[in-house]
Amino acid sequence: MRHGKYPFIIGFLVVPVALYAIFVVWAYIQAFYLSVYEWSGLGPVENFVGLGNFRKMWDDTLFWQSIKHNVFLLIFLPIITVILALIFAFLLNVGGGQKGGVTRGVWGSKVYRIIFFFPQLLALAIVAVIFGRVFGPDKSGMINGLFPESWQPWLFLADERYAMGCILVVLVWQAVGFYVVLFSAGMGNIPTEVYEAAAIDGASRMTLFFRITIPLLWNTVQVAWVYLGIAAFDAFALVNIMTVDRGGPDGATSVLSLMIYRNAFEFSQAGYASALGVVLFFLTLTFAWVTLSATRRESVEA
């Protein structure tokens, strides 16, 4: 090439790299730094406590409760969402059977695609407000309102046993459409000939799904799993807005991110919040790394 490329590279990358360096890298360095101090969030950062915040965490029952809830979401959110999304993506793309040797989706699959994606468009703030109504604990709640007057209304979010389940339902409801579209895109790239050949050999829908779709879509599923796991580590918005006493009743819906937020901005425990943030950082990255390496396998190319 005639002209030097480095002026371009440096010119193009200086702004994004600077932004990342300041807003992400430097911010994280600060978070790590603050995590070894006891600090209210105001005034000078002086009171060095070393690993004191982490020791405090170890003895904090709410911390372990929150971890438990994060793990609950981490297990069920990806499983349920991926399974539902795979089934529906399959229906939309292949489920309609074959006509003239061409594989099709079920009737109306274009409309479904839009409908399923719809929840993705609503802001989490709105979703949380809506589902606050859906799970209303008295007769004005949407679900309770569907049943006869004489029935004892379900408490949903106000019941320790079901509160976390309600959060999970909303997370799945919101996420599934995105993954239907994502998987559909992946399936669109699987050559129809593959399905045709299998169908001619007498493969049933089930066989097509398990023997062709899943193996050829493995990479996409893997990515989906990581994204959903990260969503499970977050879950802040919904828990913060929807739950009783924010994280209640009695800590039954507390998650790590909520603890971070409340310690930082409500309990004046910015040091402790930063320590929790450090833990969340490592948990998330560990999860992503473990998932990606544990599910790695020879990818089958279409």
Partner 1 sequence: MVAPAVTPTAPLKRRRKAKADEGVITVGRSRSGTILANTAGVVFSVLMLFPVYWVLNTAFKPADEVLALEPGFWPSNPTFDNFISAFNAPLFLKDMRNGVIITLIAVAGALVVGFLGALAIARFSFYGRKAIILVVLVVQLVPFLALLIPLFLMLQNVDLGFKKFDLTDSLPGVSITYLVLILPYTIWTLRGFISGIPRELDEAAMIDGCTRAQVFWRIILPLTGPGLVATSVYGFIQAWNEFIIINTLNSPENQNLMAWLLQNQTTRGTAWGPLMAGAIITSIPVVVFFLIIQRNIATGLTAGAVKG
Tell me which residues in 159-188 interact with partner 1 (CB under 8 A): 173, 176-178, 181-182, 184-186, 188
Q: What are phi and psi of 18, to 5 degrees?
A: -65, -45
- Does the footprint of partner 1 cover residue 205 (CB under 8 A)? yes
In sequence order, the 6+-apart residues with CB closer than 8 A to the CB of 127 are: 119, 170, 173, 174, 238
Among 37, 63, 131, 225, contact with partner 1 (rule: CB under 8 A)? 131
Q: How far is the CB of 287 from partner 1 (least distance, A)?
A: 9
Residue 114 in contact with partner 1, rule: CB under 8 A? yes
Query: Among residue numbers 134 through 163, which ones bind partner 1 (CB under 8 A)?
Result: 134, 139-140, 142, 145-146
For partner 1, which stretch binds (CB under 8 A), given 46-54, 55-63, 155-163, 262-270?
A: 262-270
DSSP 93-158: HTTT-EETTEE---TTHHHHHHHHHHHHHS-HHHHHHHHHHHT-SSTTSHHHHHS-TTSPPP-GGG
Candidate list 77, 171, 226, 244; residue touching partner 1; CB under 8 A = 226
> In whole angstroms, how close is the CB of 80 to partner 1 at the nearest point?
13
Distance CA 236, CA 231 (A): 9
Q: Is the dihedral of CA 58, 61, 62, 67 positive or negative?
A: positive
Question: Quick one: which of 51, 79, 102, 197 contacts partner 1 (CB under 8 A)?
Answer: 102
Q: Which amino acid is at 189?
A: N
Which pairs count as long-range contacts for 159-165, CB under 8 Å and 24+ apart, including other chains?
159/249, 160/249, 160/250, 160/252, 163/243, 163/244, 163/248, 163/249, 163/252, 163/253, 164/69, 164/72, 164/73, 164/252, 164/253
Beta carbon of residue 46, minimum distance to partner 1 (angstroms, whole number): 15
Site string for partner 1, 20-49 (x = CB under 8 A): x-xxx-xxx-xx--x------x--------
The yes or no reply on residue 51 touching partner 1 (CB under 8 A) is no
Nearest-approach distance from CB 154 to partner 1, in angstroms: 15
CB of 13 to partner 1, least distance (A): 5
Give min distance, CB of 288 to partner 1, in A: 5
Q: Which of residues 77-96 bind partner 1 (CB under 8 A)?
A: 84, 87-88, 91-92, 95-96
